[in-house]
Structure 1
Amino acid sequence: MDNEDLRLAVYRGFAETGRAPELPELAERFGVRPETVRGGLRVLAELRHVVLDDEDRVVMAHPFSSIPLGFAVMGTSTLWWGGCAWDSFALAHLLLDEPDVLVSTRCPGCDRAHAWVVRREAPPAGEQVAHFLVPVTRMWDDVVHTCGHQRLFCGERCVDDWLERSGNERGYVMDLATLWRLARGWYAGRLDRGYTRREPATAAAYLRDAGLRGSFWGLPSDPPDAPGAD
């Protein structure tokens, strides 16, 4: 067993069943001791391929989650937890055997239920907005907290109501089309052998192409070719 075999087993297990493979299950699959699997998972966590809890169980393997963080994503016959707004919309693009997925959640501002059929061809219609609380430079400080605060709201008014009640400062607000563009190709290749994470410059270019701007994303406020852009 090498770490890439282990990474693929975790990701493909999530994709096929909606859940994370357990440590004993992985040990049996590869014919190794559980401690060998535990060590491999810790390496994958250091490389930010997975997120582990205190007992080295897989909590997240973006865009998959083993815990509820506000979203459910339904395919033809499989149900996944959506780790956040970003990851929930991304599943439609990563799971190519699914024609589309149904993403459901509740507005944190007013508790209203929302659902969208998310497809690869075009973003879903809707006036709702996504609010991301934690800026990109701090997203991995506590990734579960970060993902738990990338939510979808009825609109700006519900964002403002939630911020006032929670005492949080405003983060970044985007419409559904921008969220869909952000999610569309971010996780491309994660189910394939040899996947590597983007270098910072490539990631920044992707975020700009999705329509994101400003210091929240570590980007200039204006397009790179605009007069006065940094």
Structure 2
Amino acid sequence: MSDLVRVAVYTHFARTGHAPAAAELSADTGLEPADVRLALAALHESRDLVVERDEIVMAHPFSSIPLGFSVMGAKTLWWGGCAWDSFAIPHLLDAEPDVLVATRCPACDTPHAWVVGRQAPPAGDQVAHFLTPAARVWDDVVHACANQRLFCSNRCVDTWLDGRQPGYVMDLATLWRLARGWYAGRMEPGYVRREPATAAAYFHEVGLRGPFWGSR
């Protein structure tokens, strides 16, 4: 039941750019509204969705709330949940060979936009800064995602941090490699989230190593 609802959530997000309401999920799946609510609660508990008061906040890489990124496809506009998720959307959706990802530098408000596709990372000297270590993301996942942002440069990262403890900085090519395969299979029935060990191995494979990523 939960997997049926999960796939329906992702299908709706991909098609419309918006989170489905419980009534829409009931119509799409044939389940009773009470069963849909139970499934959403289970999917939140398993970290497959972020649900608050029966409303879907995030179905990574999709978001129902603005967190600093817009992602425009050929016919659909999504909120990107973070830098990572915004770069992941064209890798997840076969019908979108590339998307336009737009944001502003959190430090100086300079606008930035990239065409992000599946073949190669976009050009640019900008950097991504992730504030929350991978092992702590689900302590407050919305806060963690809201603080995975793209900046003009390391100087802008330092300005924005204003003396706070830095997280992890990566270039656009590394961000693109991180996003490329992370959500593979998430639109399909039977998808299973990575365990910490397999997640750390994936991070290592794309060039992200050290305590921040749970690996050496």
**Structure 2 residue aligned with 1:49:** 48
CA distance in 2, matches of 1:30, 1:95: 21
Greater Rg by CA: 1
Q: In 2 relative to 1, CA 116–35 (structure 1 residues): closer, same or farther, beyond 3 Å?
A: same
CA distance in 2, matches of 1:197, 1:31: 25
1:201 to 185, 197, 204: 197
Larger deviation, residues 75-84 vs 210-219? 210-219
CA distance in 1, matches of 2:133, 2:31: 40
CA distance in 1, matches of 2:148, 2:103: 12
Larger deviation, residues 29-38 vs 42-51? 29-38
What is the Cα-based RMSD across aligned positions, in Å? 1.0
CA distance in 2, matches of 1:44, 1:210: 28
On the 8 A contact 2:4/2:29 being kept in 1, the answer is no
Could you tell me which amino acid in structure 2 is paired with residue 190 of structure 1? Answer: R
1:63 to 47, 61, 64: 61
1:159 to 141, 157, 160: 157
CA distance in 1, matches of 2:156, 2:124: 15
Which ranges in structure 1 are unaligned for 5 or more consecutive residues? 221-230
The CA deviation at 1:82 is: 0.1
**Structure 2 residue aligned with 1:185:** 181
Structure 1 runs (4+) greater than 6 angstroms displaced: none
* 1:26 and 2:10 are equivalent in the alignment: no
The CA deviation at 1:213 is: 1.3
Figure out how many residues of one structure are paired with residues of the other and give that number: 216
Larger deviation, residues 92-101 vs 183-192? 92-101
The CA deviation at 1:218 is: 1.1
CA distance in 1, matches of 2:188, 2:32: 25
On the 8 A contact 2:67/2:79 being kept in 1, the answer is yes
Larger deviation, residues 177-186 vs 189-198? 189-198
CA distance in 1, matches of 2:29, 2:90: 30
The CA deviation at 1:25 is: 1.3
The CA deviation at 1:200 is: 2.3
SS in 2 for 1:140: helix
How many percent identity over aligned positions?
Answer: 66
TM-score by length of 2: 0.97
* 1:148 and 2:175 are equivalent in the alignment: no
CA distance in 1, matches of 2:167, 2:96: 32
The CA deviation at 1:33 is: 3.2
SS in 1 for 2:170: strand
CA-to-aligned-CA distance 1:55-101 (integer Å, 9 cap, x gap): 12000010110000000000001000000000000001001111200
TM-score by length of 1: 0.91
CA distance in 2, matches of 1:68, 1:38: 24
On the 8 A contact 2:87/2:176 being kept in 1, the answer is yes
CA distance in 2, matches of 1:199, 1:130: 24
SS in 1 for 2:5: helix
Which ranges in structure 2 are unaligned for 5 or more consecutive residues? none
The CA deviation at 1:197 is: 1.0
